[in-house]
Amino acid sequence: MTVLPERAAHWERIYATKGEREVSWFEETPVSLALFEAAGVSPTATVIDIGGGASGLADALLARGATAVTVLDISARALATLAARLGDEPRLCLIAADVTRWEPQSRYDVWHDRAAFHFLTGVEDQAAYVAAMRQALPRGGIAIIGTFAPDGPEKCSGLPVARHDAGSLAAIFGPGFELVAARRHDHRTPWDTIQRFQFSTFRRR
């Protein structure tokens, strides 16, 4: 099983009741694009976006010449929204799965996650996530992880979150990942409130 039903049901409800511009994580221009550039990621790199849902990152990466973009999300409804927007795009692969129950079948140059990991509050789920990331990234591969910062929200979309800084992420990811950059980011939601994020970039050793 690649999706835990109770988790999937929660996110299907979210996407059934809110449009893609009505969720707190909506961005007109994905901040992650600047992080890709700062990490020296090639425009043609293969990317997997964990928890990407219906966000605009895939659109932006494909427009910049990415050769292959995979979006993994627990919500099939969110992925359907993305597919409808991008049409028949041969460079786009969509995977409906719970990342903690997923076994990668391919390797990627970049593992990107903006605001999925912080929903994993249990040690077992965090370890399963790291195992999948380790399997999906070759040596030298880049992981860009965005979470709520230590002074960020304690809940999101009705769920508790685990807030992180670069140090706490490095401790969870272990010695197989080298921290190469870290920055904070104040995300402005569609209703003009601020959510404090931590973005950390790692290289697979």
- Which region, left, alpha or beta, applies to residue 156 given φ > 0 means left and ψ of -120 to 50 means alpha? beta
Model pTM score: 0.94
Q: Which helix (H) or strand (E) holds 7?
A: helix 5-17
Contacts of 127 (CB under 8 A, 6+ apart): none
Q: Do strands 68-73 and 159-160 pair parallel, antiparallel, or not at all (unpaired)? A: unpaired
Number of compact structural domains in the chain? 1
Alpha-carbon distance 167 to 111, whole Å?
19
Contact of 99 with 50, CB cutoff 8 Å: yes
Domain encompassing residue 13: 5-204
pLDDT in single tens digits along all 205 residues of the chain: 455 678 889 999 988 888 878 888 889 899 999 999 999 999 999 999 999 999 999 999 999 999 999 999 999 999 999 999 999 999 999 999 999 999 999 999 999 999 999 999 999 999 999 999 999 999 999 999 999 999 999 999 999 999 999 999 999 999 999 999 999 999 999 989 999 999 999 999 9
Instruction: With CA atoms as reference, report the closest residue to 179 among 199, 145, 202, 198.
Output: 202
Alpha-carbon distance 39 to 144, whole Å?
9
Tell me the one-letter amino acid at 175. P
> For position 32, which CATH number holds?
3.40.50.150
